[in-house]
Amino acid sequence: MSQMNMVGAINDALRWALRGDERVVVMGEDVGRVGGVFRVTAGLRDEFGEQRVIDTPLSENGIIGTAVGMALYGMIPVAEIQFADFIWPAYDQIVNELAKYRYRSGGEYKAKVVIRSPVGGGIRGGHYHSQHPEAPFIHTAGLKVVIASNPYDAKGLLLSAIADPDPVLFFEPKRVYRAAKTEVPEGHYLVPLESARVARVGSDVTLLAYGAMLYEALHASEQASELGVQAEVIDLRTLWPVDIDTVLVSVKKTGRLLVVHEAPRTCGFGAELVALVCEKAFYHLETPPVRVTGFDTPFPYTLETEYLPLAHRILPAIVDVARA
């Protein structure tokens, strides 16, 4: 075991994938010579060469279009979109091509691509470097959507994503890249996709979170415990397909649900989570579910800490839901 931050864990996962399967290639803007804008791919080009760690033009639709073509010929591209805010030029390639090849070919063509991309606020990046655009991709049939909150999960989930037959969007909360360190096994291991993790056990409220907001949820839950409220915090890890069974076990125990996410509230993933729980566990709920989210505005520069659903916004919601 080694102490790693998320940058190191993801880099290690990519090394294991490149070493273990010659079909795997890493590609994206500045991923080779520079090692990526956050240095996540540092050193990979030196070890594996420019034919397998490929610096691409600054063209998101070109990156993903090329990756799709490579995948159709049996390769396994791991493509990086430098910031998730800039994924939209590739949206057509992802939604209308990549997500549909396995279905339209009856499984003959799997078009296996992993798309890595940093998401979320916390670095004062403002409008164009802080968005959290998971919802449109969760809405797209044929894609899996994953987000890790810690280094251990980041390595294991990324290796699982690369091994999975479906295309996977692998979002990485940039705020956590170097902020969290955990013990990470040095070898190859998998964290199963579609498996949530109970990050804190509690009896009064079920709190769902993912990515960087997991830490805010945990912080708020510790504060709530001082007020006599015990929140159970679940890290979803795979957003779609979501591990609804783990969520339902918790909700049936607590009778209360609180969802936290960075993205804007309207049509955010929290709405789908609330709908699923209401459909499957309505009679176990003691009070209406509550969401604590980003606001329905563009991500601000100077009011970042007001926009993000940090612990100071989560704590009152936990207490209110528990005592309703």
* Phi, psi dihedral angles at 166 (to 5 degrees): -95, 155
CB-based contacts of 49-54 (< 8 A; 24+ apart in sequence)? 51/25, 52/18, 52/24, 52/25, 52/26, 53/18, 53/25, 53/26, 53/27, 54/25, 54/26, 54/27, 54/28
Element (DSSP H or E) covering residue 80: strand 76-80
Neighbours of 68 (CB within 10 A): 22
Whether 129 is catalytic is yes
Number of H helices, E strands in the chain: 12, 14
Query: 211: which 2 tokens?
Result: 């990515």
How many CA atoms lie less than 13 Å away from 115 in the CB half-sphere?
A: 33
Tell me the three state secondary structure of residue 236: coil
What single letter denotes the amino acid at residue 12? D
Cα distance between residue 281 and residue 278, in whole Å: 5
Among 133, 74, 151, smallest CA distance to 108 is for 74
Q: From residue 142, how far is each of 72, 154, 165 by CA, in Å?
A: 15, 22, 11
> Which one of the listed residues 129, 188, 261, 284 is annotated catalytic?
129
- DSSP letter for each residue of 243-298: -HHHHHHHHHHHS-EEEEEEEESTT-HHHHHHHHHHHHHGGG-SS--EEEEE-SSP
Q: Report whether the peptide linkage leading into residue 241 is cis, meaning its omega lies within 30 degrees of zero.
A: yes
Residues assigned a catalytic role: 129
